């Protein structure tokens, strides 16, 4: 009885191992077929992102932004000092 259980266990492990091996091989094969298209698509996406960044980045006044952030931090710190 125990020997039959061990045989079944080993058979199950071999089946799972073979299935995982087939899965890995199929992924590697599909990677080889699809890699050329993905490289081209990636280059197009990066070029499009670069164009969008150039158009979407408005010139902001950094000094006024620093002043506003500094005032917000000072107000928060003053509020926290009052609580203590």
pLDDT at 45: 82
- Give the model's pLDDT for residue 57: 58
11-66 pLDDT, tens per residue?
A: 999 999 999 999 999 999 998 888 777 777 888 888 877 777 767 656 666 788 88
**Has this prediction a pTM greater than 0.75?**
no
Q: What angle do CA 65, 61, 80 make, to 5 degrees?
A: 5
Checking 24-28 for CB contacts under 8 A at 24+ apart, the result is none
Domain locations in the chain as residue ranges: 2-83
Say what the pLDDT of residue 22 is. Answer: 98
Q: What is the distance between the alpha carbons of residues 69 and 59, in angstroms, rounded to a whole number?
A: 18
């Amino acid at each position: 009885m125990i020997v039959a259980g061990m045989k079944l266990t080993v058979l199950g492990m071999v089946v799972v191992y073979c299935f995982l091996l087939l899965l890995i091989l199929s992924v590697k094969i599909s990677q080889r077929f699809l890699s050329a298209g993905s490289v081209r698509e990636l280059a197009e996406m990066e070029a499009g992102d670069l164009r969008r960044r150039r158009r979407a980045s408005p010139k902001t006044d950094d000094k006024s932004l620093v002043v506003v952030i500094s005032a917000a931090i000072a107000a928060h710190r003053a509020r926290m000092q009052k609580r203590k």
